[in-house]
Structure 1
């Protein structure tokens, strides 16, 4: 729970769920400027958050409070997880859902069907005390190649609601299942950490087995009918030492009963900028553009600890980029000037026609400023966080 809260705060302005403040504007926006929303909409028994763009979902507010997930904070079965997986998992699940549940038609609601205890049981190993565990029984082996690994790392539910004359009804469900390629474990408490490798073929097989079980169980939950559309998406977790989060690799939609539709490859993958010796980006032009941006701001402002980015590709086409810049600035005027310069350099050097978020942080991890651009705009919206 604590990890997810930290991520939410540090990426407040770049959240892709309900009211992402990605409105474009003058790259020289000063401290205190914020994106305007359409406001909340009164309904019978509930309100909605409003939204900044047609591509965003409106969220549900009941009794003046945002309708949070029943299983909030559940979804990590290992302590040594890559926190970037959380960000990629949540934002990616919402993006995939838009293909099935249009933001123009549906209202987003955090998962209300699966309880916290239910998700915890599903993520645990199957045992005499927990017959609902989706991960295999512990066979007692300690050797990395002989033990039964934990295949499933996280599960998340998202609900998509119909608005019928001011009353909400369930219109569809998305379930995300995070799958491990590497399972980290200890042979004894507080001992060294070991790794069981999981092949892509085995991950794919176990993911589909889990999906069928989850679908059958969700169908039995109260409020879910036999013809409620249920989308299931499978996510490949990135290793703990990865500089980027994982990616969704397949999805399917069940339109009736426990019948699984055909699986579709997403052809999505995440890459880090600058490229590493073991994993280069699919398009050299994108790498060249990032290097130009990186060199420009490093040369102008020497007090930088690092400039990195995560890009998501569909096949070989860059779909979006999240840039992280770590500074050693302390002065408010330095941060403001730097943010203005970054906006100019980003317009000049970074790839066009894709959404880009840029987060500027201090060495202690606190966010100093944020820049964002939609895919159809050339200018960046900017916000500098005040130091008081």
Structure 2
């Protein structure tokens, strides 16, 4: 039971977006032996990138026999891409520090990164492709791309130039920054010679739903934050234009000797949530540029998150909100004191597909935690028989229990 519990992954959004709700994320039922591919580090385009200030090319002599392999496959409730390793180490992205600095809401960054892999599986089969964080766009270049365009100082900027107006607010709000962040993922495949090569690129375009800005005073202090809302249609229109520019830049002969000229490049467009939101944002579209082509097959996506309990859920998802409230009441009946129960529902095309629930409790004896977990499991089966549900029971000491229920399956229970 303990080993099985350690293999359980976070299930949030496991089936999200797959084949537009048909569930592309398949279960793995067996353990496959690790496949290793021995080759020079420079054989995979992009491996020459600098990482943590060290240029791998300068260490070519020392790493001539560098081993590049992929991680072993393990059984879990989720089917994840296997990762490319170099000398047994995970290959971090060339711009990993940049992403942490520019995204205000941590939930947005986590959702984008996981969601990009979910969407990638529609284009790059998980049985054939392996995952590697982006190596072709480094932090310096990425920073210039997400800044405002300025023909003199930053001609590569993908955000619009500063607008016109007499005041700081007028100039900023008339031309809000639509693009928040760009995340690159590489998908590597084994070629006919048994070597690994980049077989696909996924670019996440994280767009602002609200542009926040504030004026800096002469003494270095700042005025209060101001904001400008950006509608969904504008986000999508701007993202499509940005995607075309990025395709042209990535396929330049000057980038890694034209390594990406014949590589499909997929785009996943995401709208970030407001800074004070308790929920992540949503993906709104995908599009792929096949070799030699621009992005010409955009598909709109319809996903939404709801917080339970909340007035928004009560108004827009009344039936599900009532079911959650009944579940919460039954859970609270177990203890004399009130237990806070909070849920996050994930919806596709207006239907709830997944529900993640957090139940914080005061620490009790082990037997009482077990009894409470059994009680919660029973109520989950009664109220939510047809959706994926994950319940985390926690106390001030940390995690106490985990319940995972998949439609048509017996629930998985683990008490820590």
TM-score range, shorter chain: 0.7 to 0.9
Q: Which runs of 5+ in 2 are unaligned?
A: 1-7, 15-27, 39-68
CA distance in 2, matches of 1:304, 1:94: 39
* Bigger shift: residues 246-255 or 139-148: 139-148
Q: Describe the shift of the 1:259–1:135 C-alpha distance in structure 2 as closer, same or farther (beyond 3 A).
A: same
Is the CA contact 1:252–1:262 (under 8 Å) kept in the aligned structure 2? yes
| 153, 159, 169: which one aligns with 1:143 | 169
Cα-to-partner distance string for 1:155-195 (whole Å, 9 max, x where unaligned): 21112221246522111111111111211111234431111
Matches within 5 A, 1:99-178: 99-127=122-150, 128-139=152-163, 141-143=167-169, 146-164=173-191, 166-178=194-206
| 330, 336, 359: which one aligns with 1:296 | 330
Matches within 5 A, 1:187-336: 187-188=215-216, 189-220=221-252, 221-222=255-256, 224-277=259-312, 280-282=315-317, 284-301=318-335, 306-329=340-363, 335-336=369-370
Give the alignment's TM-score, normalised by structure 2.
Answer: 0.74
CA distance in 2, matches of 1:301, 1:153: 45
Give the alignment's TM-score, normalised by structure 1.
Answer: 0.79
Q: Tell me, what secondary structure is at the counterpart of 1:196?
A: strand
Name which structure has the greater RCO, CA cutoff 8 Å, separation 6+. Answer: 1
Is the CA contact 1:319–1:355 (under 8 Å) kept in the aligned structure 2? yes
Shift of 1:16: 6.8
Q: Which runs of 5+ in 1 are unaligned?
A: 1-11, 19-34
Query: Aligned-pair RMSD on alpha carbons?
Result: 3.1
**What residue in structure 1 maps to residue 393 of structure 2?**
360
Shift of 1:43: 0.7
CA distance in 1, matches of 2:338, 2:110: 24
Is the CA contact 1:303–1:327 (under 8 Å) kept in the aligned structure 2? no
* Bigger shift: residues 238-247 or 176-185: 238-247
Is the CA contact 1:39–1:50 (under 8 Å) kept in the aligned structure 2? yes
Is the CA contact 1:268–1:315 (under 8 Å) kept in the aligned structure 2? yes
Shift of 1:260: 1.2
Structure number with bigger Rg: 2
Q: Describe the shift of the 1:148–1:90 C-alpha distance in structure 2 as closer, same or farther (beyond 3 A).
A: same
Greater percentage in helix: 2
Shift of 1:55: 3.1
Task: Provide the aligned length of Structure 1 versus Structure 2.
Answer: 353
**What residue in structure 1 maps to residue 37 of structure 2?**
44
